[in-house]
Amino acid sequence: MSEEETRKIQFTGKSTYIVSLPKKWVGDLGLKKGDQILVQRKGTSSLQIVPYSTRTKRESETATLEIDPKEQPSSVERKLIALYFLHFKTISIKPIKGRITPSQRTGIRNAVKKILMGSEITAESSDGITIQILINLVELSVVGALKRMLLLAKSMQNDALLAIKEGNTELANEVINSDDDVDRFSFYITRQLAIAIENEHLLKEMGFSNARDCLGYRLIIKNIERMGDHAVRISKDVLDYKKPISGKIFDAIRDMSDFAISVIDDASDALFQGDIDRAEQAVTDAQNITKKEKRVMDYLKLNIDEEEKYRIRRIVENTRRIAEYASDVGEIVLNMNIEKIIKKPKM
């Protein structure tokens, strides 16, 4: 049976219109006589029928998290993140006894501000804190969020190298602080993927052809998140040594970084376009990072003090990882799209 069927609207009684549903579709969805369906109006020209039981019920529910006053703020934060992934719209945090401690309240505020995208504290007292997740699926798509996350991670890497060149501790601190924003995008995308996996209708609405693609995206955002982590490590070098690296050595490091970023750009474009050939090319190109790395390491044979050699080796290691992540992204894109090149048997 095709994905479309033509049905006539019939009139019954004095004021009711009815339409029949294909029997196979009803059976495939596990519906039976007497089950409820949800009829929604979509804009001015469409109607949508959704099985009532497949609604994302948690979207309209409140989760209550009871915490012990002796519990560490980090433990409360982890539980709050777990509830965020379960896509509750409202999370209420209450003490089992006594009051929420000042350190716990600070930890909750920091989590809302720095980690949980789209969340706001709507009520707060020593007796409890209420958090609402205000962002919805339409406002920021998974692809849109991933593109912004990638752009931010690349900007962090470029700024980290600029901080190295200038010995700029202020810029290095900005890169380190930007890592919170990368993490926020990561948590948000993970939350949306969890919603998609549990609801077939929303899966299609988000642009995924199957649940397996959600796993691919989850692995990819982890790689982008790690890219941001390496930019942070490079920035911490500036804070540790407070002196620049410049000249031909820096130019070689910059060339290596630019190459790694270009490869992850290609791998990401392959993802967005579903382009297997481009993904394969990104995997192949990523291997050339060793040539860029060798050029940097050749400078270490010159008369350079041991401290600077150590710094350069660490920067090179963190930069090389970006190309490795690009290769990982390319392989994931291949796995997600391999069915496109399977030769179908003749009927």
Q: Which two three-digit tokens encode residue 202? A: 């929303």
58: confidence class by pLDDT, cuts 50, 70, 90: very low
> Mean pLDDT across the stretch 180-196?
89
List Cα–Cα distances, 16 to 10, 23, 40, 72, 139, in angstroms.
8, 22, 17, 59, 36
Q: pLDDT at residue 1 above 60?
A: no
Distance CA 299, CA 253 (A): 11
Length of the chain: 347
Is residue 235 a contact partner of residue 175, using CB atoms and an 8 Å limit? Answer: yes
**pTM of the prediction?**
0.74
Residue 45's pLDDT band, with cuts at 50, 70 and 90, is low
Evaluate if residue 180 carries a pLDDT over 70.
yes
Across 2-16, 265-279, 298-312, the highest mean pLDDT is recorded for: 265-279
Instruction: Please give the full DSSP string across 232-263, using - where no structure is assigned.
Output: HHHHHHHHHH-----HHHHHHHHHHHHHHHHH
For residue 123, what pLDDT band results from cuts at 50, 70 and 90?
Answer: confident
Q: What pLDDT score does 155 carry?
A: 93
Mean pLDDT of the chain: 86
Q: Flag the least confident range among 28-32, 117-121, 293-297.
A: 28-32
> Is 80:64 a contact under the CB 8 Å cutoff?
no
CB 165 within 8 A of CB 114: no
Give CA 23 to chain center in angstroms. Answer: 39
Cα gap 13→18, rounded to integer Å: 10
CA distance 209 to 226: 27
With a pLDDT cut of 90, the percent of the chain lying above it is 49
Sequential DSSP letters for 170-197: HHHHHHHHHHHHHHHHHHHHHHHHHHHH
Point out the least confidently predicted range of 116-120, 327-331, 332-336.
Answer: 116-120
Find out whether 259 and 320 touch, Cβ atoms under 8 Å: no
Reported as a single tens digit per residue, the pLDDT across 124-170 is 887 889 998 876 555 678 888 999 999 999 999 999 999 999 999 99
> Exposure pattern of 127-165 as b/e (b: 16+ CB <10 Å)?
ebbbbbbebeeeebebeebbeebbebbbebbebbbebbb
Q: What is the b/e burial string over 309-324, where b = at least 16 CB atoms within 10 angstroms of the residue's CB?
A: eebbeebbebbbbbbb
- Structural domains of the chain sorted by starting position, each given as residue range(s) with its CATH number in brackets: 10-54 (no CATH), 58-133 (3.30.110), 142-337 (1.20.58.220)
Q: What is the pLDDT of residue 277?
A: 93
Contact 101, 71 (CB under 8 A): no
Residue 271 above 60 pLDDT?
A: yes
- Read off φ and ψ for residue 316, nearest 5 degrees: -60, -45
Which secondary-structure segment (H or E) carries 113? helix 102-114
d(CA 205, CA 54): 14
Rounded-to-integer distance, Cα 49 and Cα 52, Å: 9
Using pLDDT thresholds of 50, 70 and 90, give the confidence band for residue 59: very low
Lowest mean pLDDT among 106-115, 259-268, 313-322: 106-115
User: Bridge-partner residues for 47, per DSSP?
Assistant: 41
Mean pLDDT of 217-238: 94
Contact 12, 18 (CB under 8 A): yes
Q: Is 304 helix (H, G, I), strand (E, B) or coil?
A: coil
| pLDDT for 235 beyond 90 | yes
**Cβ burial, residue 51 (10 Å; 0-12/13-18/19+):** middle
Q: What's the CA gap between 153 and 132, in Å, rounded?
A: 27
Asked whether 73 and 180 are in contact (CB, 8 A), the reply is no
Strand, coil or helix: 27: helix
